[in-house]
Amino acid sequence: MTEPLSLPELRMIPMDRIEILNPRERNQRKFSAIVENIGAVGLKKPVTVTPRPGEDGAERYVLVCGEGRFKAFQQLGEKRIPALVVMVSDEDAFVMSLAENVARRRHQPLELLRGITLLRDKGHSVQDIARKTNLHESYVRHILELVDKGEERLLVAVERGKMPITVAILIVGAGNDDKAVQMAMQEAYESGELRGPQLMYAKKLVERRQFLGRSIARSTPRKPVDITSSSLVRAYKTEVERQRIMIRKSSLVQQRLFFVYGALRKMLGDENLVNILRLEGLDTLPKYLAERVSRSGGSV
């Protein structure tokens, strides 16, 4: 059972006696800005640590929150750092660190996901993880399902707000059947879950997932596909069909433009209608369109 947190005590602690429990990668440009800011105005918020007995008998500390501030102090050559000392277990320290990452406006998506997975691996239930991280139970359950299936591309899209978690689950449920995946996206579109830019992003993501694999790790590239005469014929037929669809669409657009063009000419040929439009201040058109409509026998 987790022990209640004691009231923190503010101390100046030697930097070399603090250990980072859960180190993470950082964006170098943003980190440089943090270092510059702390160097100019000082540390606005102390880091949080918890004490542990050291091998030499002297007290050491585990960093709970504030890794960026701690490393910035290191880079600035400081020997001591203001720290709030709390009495917590390693498990609680990890949860506090994870909770800070969740609360951060722009945390690293895969970092958060790995944190949730680590909590599950430590024996925490979905309900426990949801309570500790302040996330919804169904969200945690879906995230763990995507993690177990190795769906890193979908996970990152979900965490960056590019795709709803429910849509990612629909895509995974469709398996490797392209038609089933397309139907899942169509269902999401019709239900209003995918609209506009999100729909376009989802289509591109599904294509990348199909050709590059579910993982985004550079160390595990997808096995290259052998090119055969039949695969080339299929690719050719697919491209031909795509161009046919484009031609049909352009033909439809052209027909609609002809209709609009004819309707405008007919409307502007009615003197009574033109007078009414003029009285209402609606008798102007863009110059290019006005010239083409007024030109007898002109074409779109």
Please state the domain extents for the chain: 1-107, 229-294
pLDDT band of 282, cuts 50, 70, 90 = confident
Residue 138 vs residue 159, higher pLDDT: 138
Look up residue 85 and give its DSSP letter.
E
Please give the structure tokens belonging to residue 33.
Answer: 């800005």
In this structure, the strands spanning 80-85 and 9-14 are antiparallel
Average pLDDT (201-223) is: 70
Query: pTM for this structure?
Result: 0.46
Structure confidence at residue 232 as a pLDDT band (50, 70, 90): low
Nearest to 70 by CA among 85, 48, 90: 48
Helix axis angle, 90-103 relative to 109-121, nearest 10°?
Answer: 150
Angle separating helix axes 229-268 and 287-294, nearest 10 degrees: 70
Sequence-ordered list of residues with C-beta below 8 angstroms from that of 179, at least 6 positions apart, any chain:
none
Confidence band of 256 (pLDDT split at 50, 70, 90): confident
| Strand partners for 59 | 53
Return the structure tokens found at 115. 């944190």
By the 8 A CB rule, do 122 and 91 touch? yes
Which fold would CATH assign to domain 1-107?
Answer: 3.90.1530
In eight-state DSSP terms, residue 44 is S
Distance CA 65, CA 99 (A): 9
- pLDDT tier, 299 (very low <50, low <70, confident <90, very high otherwise): very low
Contact predicate 101/111, CB 8 Å: yes
* Distance spanning both ends of the chain, measured CA to CA: 77
Helices (H) and strands (E) in the chain, counts: 13, 5
CA distance 24 to 143: 20
For 20-42, the pLDDT digits (tens) are 876 766 667 777 877 888 888 78
Under the banding of pLDDT at 50, 70 and 90, the label for residue 222 is: very low
Hey, what are 77's tokens? 């050559």
Q: 295 pLDDT exceeds 70? A: no
Q: Write down the pLDDT at residue 1.
A: 43
Q: Which residues contact 60 (CB under 8 A, 6 or more apart)?
A: 17, 18, 19, 51, 52, 53, 54
Distance of alpha carbon 261 from alpha carbon 300, whole angstroms: 7
Mean pLDDT of 218-239: 58
Alpha carbon separation from 58 to 51, 55, 80, 83, 93 (Å, rounded) = 10, 7, 16, 17, 20
